[in-house]
Amino acid sequence: MAIQANPWLRKTPELKIEMNLDENLDSEPESSLVDPNTHMESFRQTRHNRRTELIEDYVELIADLIEDGGEARQVDIAQRLGVAQPTVAKMLKRLATDGYIQQRRYRGVFLTDIGMQLAERSRERHHIVESFLCAIGISVETARIDAEGIEHHVSPETLEAFKRFVARGGSSL
């Protein structure tokens, strides 16, 4: 049932809940609600990011594996992502049709130019996010995990701010 097992949601100080349904019927909104279209655009953007993040994860990981060991085998990708090998095989096929990688049957996986560019951008962004989290005092283990999820949702503007922050050596935190 509910989520009580998830520590990410557990730490909330105290949850006071009052809905006051009767009072806001005619009183002026005082809402935390923005304009519906603006709201929608945020969600649309987030959904779009969710579609691309898996691709970025794969391409980034493939680049790392190639750099580290000269090749990116499906079994290694599967192991590091924590999924089964056929899942990786299917995804690689998609990456190939999308033009990010080249595959030769029963041979290795290679990044195309486009794939390498995407990998480079992802790695840079990933590194900035992780460094930023460390700079504000997050432990390295948590920073690594959070960065894995956060990196895909960081806009260029925010990334720039993170970078500036890290460059200044953090702040008075």
- Give which of 150, 157, 165 is closest to 49, Cα–Cα: 150
Question: Is 167 near DNA (CB under 7 A)?
Answer: no
Please return the burial class of 75, using the count of CB atoms within 10 Å of its CB with bins 0-12, 13-18 and 19+: exposed
- Residues 115-154, interacting with DNA (CB under 7 A): none
Secondary structure letter of residue 24 according to DSSP: T
Secondary structure letter of residue 73 according to DSSP: -
| Residue from the set 9, 42, 69, 86 that interacts with DNA by CB under 7 A | 86
Amino acid sitting at position 10: R
59 is written with which tokens? Answer: 């391409």
| Residue from the set 20, 31, 106, 173 that interacts with DNA by CB under 7 A | 106
Q: Which does 167 bind (CB under 5 to 8 A by kind): DNA, a copy of itself, none?
A: none
Instruction: Provide the 10 A C-beta neighbour count for residue 82.
Output: 7
Question: Is 111 near DNA (CB under 7 A)?
Answer: no
Question: Is 97 near a copy of itself (CB under 8 A)?
Answer: no
Q: Kindly state the smallest distance separating residue 15's Cβ from a copy of itself, in Å.
A: 4
Residue 52's SS3 state is helix
| Residue from the set 80, 87, 103, 131 that interacts with a copy of itself by CB under 8 A | 80
Q: Kindly state the smallest distance separating residue 142's Cβ from DNA, in Å.
A: 22
- Residues 46-65, interacting with DNA (CB under 7 A): 47, 51, 54
Q: Which does 103 bind (CB under 5 to 8 A by kind): a copy of itself, DNA, none?
A: DNA
Whole-angstrom Cα distance, residue 94 to residue 101? Answer: 9
